[in-house]
Amino acid sequence: MSMDIAPASDPKAFQSFAQFYPFYLSEHGNRTCRRLHFAGSTLSLACLALLVATGNALWLLAALLVGYGFAWIGHFGFEKNKPASFKRPLYSFMGDWVMYKDIWTGRIPF
């Protein structure tokens, strides 16, 4: 399956998430970067489950650290670009979870 990829653009120029998401995917063309995002998102969900199970707020911090840590390693180490979260944090956060779902459903190659 192929990914719909939009040409690089300024993330601040998009007026909707629907416009932003193709750009977001274009920033995640490297398979290792996508896999690191997927791993970080999965670990974040595990940390959030532990937060609910234990009531220990440190699991929230752990969720943020593993989620963004894995993603940023993917961007700086493999994709060789700057995460869009620096310019569009909400859309980027939404993009992380839509891409996570798209990987699970096979729309995006893992």
Residue 93 is assigned to a structural domain of this protein? yes
**Is 4 a member of any domain?**
no
Domain residue limits at 47: 29-104
pLDDT number for residue 8: 55
Sorted by sequence, the CB contacts under 8 Å of residue 81 that are 6+ apart come out as 27, 75
The pLDDT score that the predictor gives to residue 66 is: 98
pLDDT for the residue numbered 30: 96
The answer to whether residue 67 sits within a structural domain is yes
pLDDT along the chain (110 residues), means of 10: 53 91 95 98 98 98 97 96 90 97 96
pTM of this prediction exceeds 0.85: yes
Number of domains observed in the structure of the chain: 1
What's the CA gap between 10 and 66, in Å, rounded?
A: 27
Residue 9 belongs to a domain = no
